[in-house]
Amino acid sequence: MSLLKKLEQTFFNNQAMHPWPGLIEAYRDWLPVTDKTPIITLQEGATPLIPTKSISERIGREIKVFVKYDGLNPTGSFKDRGMTMAISKAKEAGSEAVICASTGNTSASAAAYARRGGIKAFVLIPDGYVAQGKLAQALVYGAEVLAIRGNFDKALDIVRELSNKFPVTLVNSVNPFRLQGQKTAAFEIIDYLGEAPDWLCIPMGNAGNISAYWMGFEEYFQAGKSKKLPRMMGFQASGSAPLVFNKVIENPNTIATAIRIGNPVNKEKAIAAKKKSNGDFKDVTDEEIINAYKILGKEEGIFCEPASAASVAGLLKHKEKIPNGSTVVCVLTGNGLKDPDCAINNNEAKFYKDLDPEIKTVAKAMGL
Ligand SMILES: *Cc1c(COP(=O)(O)O)cnc(C)c1O
């Protein structure tokens, strides 16, 4: 055998070099797919679970804090977990077009997976309230983007109606396959830690993700893969907290546009998860969200979008309640690059502009 052949074999036999097949193949036995399902994947899932020292230290006791960085999925948010399932099943059913309402990430993800599957994607967005990165994605992935003068809740009403009247598949989180795909994040956490965490902190918008995580934790628990179930701690922005204040919010408002939702469709499922897990729903202010966002960025090197930072903001706000020795996982739902405006406007970086292109000037600005 030639040396090259030998090297090639070692390389490809190395387990670490085997590509992750995407979450449907990885968790096939746990998902409603068959041999006939065409798998539309961008190899989503297997996102890192990162220990965060600066957050643990702020809590100040023997408490381990990890973040599940789902912003590292192919389109930059956890929505890809649900979309690989929703689009694969839509394709299996012979659908030629999908539609969704979106605060941004659902549209980016739906567009990417639909186009990969050769399906048309229509996305309805609230005009002016979608972060730039997300809009850019939907456009580049070839969706037909429809911006309405109205908020997310209104957009969702319209797409629900449209999908009843016309042959387009709805891929918002009312689509049950979305939650099936999203539950795999809970599997990954248990597969990695060897046990469920004590607390799961998660931002809530339509509350599909918290419901999906709970489904995943329960399924693994029932199968004996974990011995405990986490407390589900759901966080909303104060200006957009229907589940915390237990009422529909007509005009939700927050810097965290991904969770700017006043009437969550998965309300009942989320409330059931809270009750069964002895969890809690709390609100965090935009200021607390931005504070957590900055800590993650400048102390941990983790850039998430503001909605995602609500999970860490909530943890820090309620840290007194965590028993000593606990393991906590905060879900970071989306990538910081999605919302560059928020980043540029909310940081404490030293940014010297308009410098003369000379060593002397630059060195002086550096404090040398
Ligand atoms: C969609 C989204 C959420 C909210 O998830 P729900 O399932 O609607 O509760 C939170 N953060 C980001 C970044 C999102 O894209």
Contact 77, 105 (CB under 8 A): yes
Given a cut of 70, is residue 1 above it in pLDDT? no
Mean pLDDT within 261-276: 97
Looking at the CA of residue 206, tell me the nearest atom of ligand 1: 8
Output the CA 74–ligand 1 centroid distance in Å. 16
How many CB atoms are closer than 10 A to CB 189?
25
pLDDT tens per residue, range 83-141:
999 999 999 999 999 999 998 999 999 999 999 999 999 999 999 889 999 999 999 99
| Whether residue 277 has its Cβ less than 6 Å from ligand 1 | no
Residue nearest to atom 5 of ligand 1 (CA): 205
Which is nearest to 144 in space by CA: 166, 173, 118, 124?
124
| Whether residue 76 has its Cβ less than 6 Å from ligand 1 | no
Output the CA 288–ligand 1 centroid distance in Å. 18
In the chain, % of residues over pLDDT 70: 95
Predicted confidence band of residue 168 (pLDDT cuts 50, 70, 90): very high
Given a cut of 70, is residue 211 above it in pLDDT? yes
pLDDT tens per residue, range 282-336:
999 999 999 999 999 999 999 999 999 999 999 999 999 999 999 999 999 999 9
Burial (0-12, 13-18, 19+ Cβ within 10 Å), 35:
exposed
Task: Report the pLDDT value the prediction gives residue 129, as an integer from 0 to 100.
Answer: 87
Given a cut of 70, is residue 13 above it in pLDDT? no
CA distance 238 to 258: 14
| Whether residue 203 has its Cβ less than 6 Å from ligand 1 | yes
Looking at the CA of residue 334, tell me the nearest atom of ligand 1: 13
